[in-house]
Amino acid sequence: MSGIVVLGSANMDLVVRQPRPAHPGETMSGSSFATGPGGKGLNQAVAAARAGAEVAFIGCVGPDDFGARLTRVLDEAGIDASAVRVVAEPIDRATTGIAAISVTDDGENSIVVVPGANGDDELTETDAAAIGRAQFLLVQLERPLPLVRRALETARESGVRTVLTPAPATTEAAALIPLADIVVPNEGEAAMLSGLADPDADASARALSGRASKGDGTGLAVVTLGERGAVVARGGEIVHRVGARRVDAVDTTGAGDTFVGALIAWLAGGAELEEALEAAAAAAAIAVTREGAAASMPSRDEIEAALGGDASVADAAPRPVERRSAAIPAPVYLDTDLGIDDALALGYLLAHPGVEVVGVGSVHGNLDAPQAARNVLDLLALTTGRGIPVAVGASDPLAGPFAGGAPHVHGDNGIGGVVLDRSPDEPVSEDAADLLIRLAHEHAGRLRVVAIGPLTNLAVALERDPAIAGLLDGVWVMGGAALVPGNITPTAEANIFHDPEAAQVVLEADWPVVLVPLDVTMQNRFTSGDRAALTAAPGAAARAIGEMLALYEEFYTPIFGAPDVALHDPLAAALAAGGVRSALAPRVRVVVDTTHGPGRGQTICDFRGMYRGHPVPSGPTVEVVLELTEPFAPELRARLLELR
């Protein structure tokens, strides 16, 4: 049984950001364009699922790429999408619905919807059965009204609680209110549907609650008031008010849907009304501080943190959190200059059940970008990873030519001189930056980026599509030296040194970044015993990685005084996958030295707050991992031995 069944629309949002609303006949230059999942039904389903509810979605899409992407969004959110139907005819419904959204610089939006497949009005027997097994049915008005009516009637016949978001509001929609136990309109919708002349919000709430649930006195109306919160009435009387939280709104798209989804998720979990309303208000406040609709919706952990902390939700931007394996693996994009420790990282991600590698981009660094891509493809061919798109990325840093690589560390071919059978697969036609942008939109709100080479591709992707900063679950970067010496100069770590300008762009961007510097990677090492275990492993990929480590041992033996190797790149991968946890990781401002003096490439981390418990400063910050809760080598060895 699903706690919540959502019958509603699924649209692809086409979002343009512009300085202000355009006047009639005016042509205006916008500042950005992005696509992302939307539709009030899909948005509310994602919001409820992120808030911890078990959710099933009933909807329709077209036989096109937008439809496939929206279905993946539902799957990735953990939503049962088995009732999503692909509509192939008639022609006016044979396309996925779209919403053209204009967002102004002050965060306000206007929306034009073309319904497409959402116009299908069939309620199948399977749909009715799913509704009858739910605790709550949640509907909106972006599907045909006769369909919505049949769904509400089916739910009431089965004793399922019904929730109506009457948007877009029409006079015909007023007839549906008695079929809803809970009505959640905004202020304008409530006024239109109240039947009163020029009512205020309280009067509208009283009127709607009196008619809800067939006027039996239990009907609930929650009228949302934007930045003024919400007013709640039951059976014709005002019973509660909830205040909005003070935040700097970036994009209000989807805020109302976030409120509704979180409200019903809390109620489905057994919360009292007042508690559920506070959770809904906190969720909406977090959502408006982020770009996008579904991509902006917070997790239950984030909502609970906001409820237990600062009422302003000033620190409610996305943060990397402890993650363990999940039933639905988190999608990962790996950006790599595939050398020996990069191979360890790729192997770890392929073996970890909590993540799924959905794309790999190559970059200059340990070797040239085309050879790095070839190494990835050949290594994937030894595992179950064939079919993962691999893109060739930047061949040079942002401000200079490729430095020639590190053959003394990684060998002439980047993988210790080990010769792998050549895979028949080839890199995809798009470059790494475009692959990252596409995956960020396809996996909006869930994609984790693991960057274990110079950060050129990420900087280029940000320049091409700044909106991706709000679409990622997080960025894990192996790079930098916070409180220890560098490894390529006395102050700089190699990944940062090979493109300091790109590193500065990435570390100053407004997205959640975890920096995994030499401070922690040099303390976590493989021994010759670990290498011997890999070379004797049953899996061909693990054996190949073990062979690669021979040259790595030669490089590190003079450094450590023993045949140990530092686990740089795989540690960043493991932190992204949740395989290990940080014990000390303050969030601080990080500046990269981009001068051409002796400090070039140094990561300057502002730890001056250490004496006050590392309070989080304002503006873009970076989580700098300095210590782990446990040694990493046993976890890495176990995962690599599972590689097949």
Residue 363 has pLDDT above 50, yes or no: yes
Residues in the chain, total: 644
Which phi and psi (to 5°) does residue 54 adopt? -85, 120
Among candidates 535, 564, 554, which has minimal Cα distance to 411? 554
Q: What are 80's strand-pairing partners?
A: 56
**How large is the C-alpha radius of gyration of the chain?**
26
Main-chain phi, psi angles of 163, to 5 degrees: -130, 125
Reported as a single tens digit per residue, the pLDDT across 443-459 is 888 899 999 999 999 99
Mean per-residue pLDDT for 322-345?
Answer: 78
CB neighbour list of residue 133: distance below 8 Å, 6 or more residues apart: 1, 2, 5
- pLDDT above 80: residue 293: no
Candidate from 250-259, 280-289, 410-419 with smallest mean pLDDT = 250-259
Q: Tell me: is residue 13 an annotated ligand-binding position.
A: yes
For 271-287, the pLDDT digits (tens) are 999 999 999 999 999 98
Over range 291-311, report the average pLDDT. Answer: 78
Element (H, E) at 112: strand 109-114
Nearest Cα neighbor of 643 from 339, 323, 357 is 357
Per-residue pLDDT band for 216 (boundaries 50, 70, 90) equals confident
* 525 appears as a binding residue in the annotation: no
Is the model's pLDDT at 169 over the cut of 90? Answer: no
| Structure token pair of residue 81 | 């999408």
Is 39 assigned a ligand-binding role in the annotation? yes
pLDDT digits (tens, 9 = 90+) for 24-56: 888 888 888 878 888 899 999 999 999 999 999
Question: How much is the pLDDT for 89?
Answer: 78
Residue 550: per-residue pLDDT: 95
Question: What domains are defined for the chain?
Answer: 4-20+34-308 (3.40.1190.20), 330-641 (3.90.245.10)
- Catalytic residue check, 412: no
Question: Helix, strand, coil proportions of the chain in percent (round to 5)?
Answer: 40, 20, 40
| Measured distance CA(480)–CA(500) in Å, rounded | 10
Asked whether the beta carbons of 330 and 323 are under 8 A apart, the reply is yes
The pLDDT, as a whole number, for residue 32 is: 81
* The pLDDT value given to residue 203: 93
C-alpha to C-alpha distance for 535 and 554, rounded to whole angstroms: 16
Tens of pLDDT along 537-566? Answer: 989 999 999 999 999 999 999 999 999 999
User: What pLDDT, on the 0 to 100 scale, is given for residue 292?
Assistant: 65
| Cα angle, residue 319 at apex, residues 294 and 5 outer, rounded to 5° | 30
- Higher-confidence residue: 317 or 277? 277
pLDDT in tens, 487-502: 999 999 999 999 999 9
CB 142 within 8 A of CB 9: yes
DSSP string for residues in 284-333? HHHHTTSSSSGGGPPPHHHHHHHHHS-TT-TT-S---------SSPEEEE
Give pLDDT, residue 440: 94
Dihedral sign (CA 429, 331, 385, 522): positive
Q: Known binder of ligand: residue 224?
A: yes
Range scoring the smallest mean pLDDT among 11-15, 121-125, 159-163, 561-565: 11-15
* Mean model confidence pLDDT for the chain: 90
CA distance 36 to 465: 13
Give Dmax (Cα) for the chain. 85
The answer on whether 287 is annotated among ligand-binding residues is: yes
Query: Residue 191 — very low, low, confident or very high, per pLDDT cuts 50/70/90?
Result: very high
Q: What percent of the chain has pLDDT over 70?
A: 95
Please indicate if the annotation marks 214 as binding a ligand.
no
Catalytic residue among 80, 120, 127, 257: 257
Structure token pair of residue 275: 């508690």
For the record, the structure tokens of 537 come out as 């492993």
Q: Which helix (H) or strand (E) holds 346?
A: helix 340-351
User: Is residue 322 predicted with pLDDT exceeding 60?
Assistant: no
CA-CA distance, 42 to 288, in Å (whole number)? 17
The mean pLDDT value for 183-202 works out to: 91
**Residue 622, beta-bridge partner list:** 513, 588
Kind and range of the H or E run holding 227: none
Work out the average pLDDT over 317-343: 68
Categorize the per-residue pLDDT at 294 as very low, low, confident or very high, splitting at 50, 70 and 90.
confident
Torsion, Cα 31 456 35 16, to 10 degrees, reads: 0
pLDDT given for residue 492 in this prediction: 97
Q: Say whether 448 sits in a helix, a strand or coil.
A: strand
Two structure tokens written together for 555: 């490089």
Query: What is the band of 135 on the pLDDT scale with cuts at 50, 70, 90?
Result: very high
For residues 501-508, average pLDDT: 97
**pLDDT value at residue 1:** 45
Q: What's residue 616's pLDDT? A: 67
Q: What is the mean pLDDT of residues 522-531?
A: 94
412/416 Cα distance (integer angstroms): 7
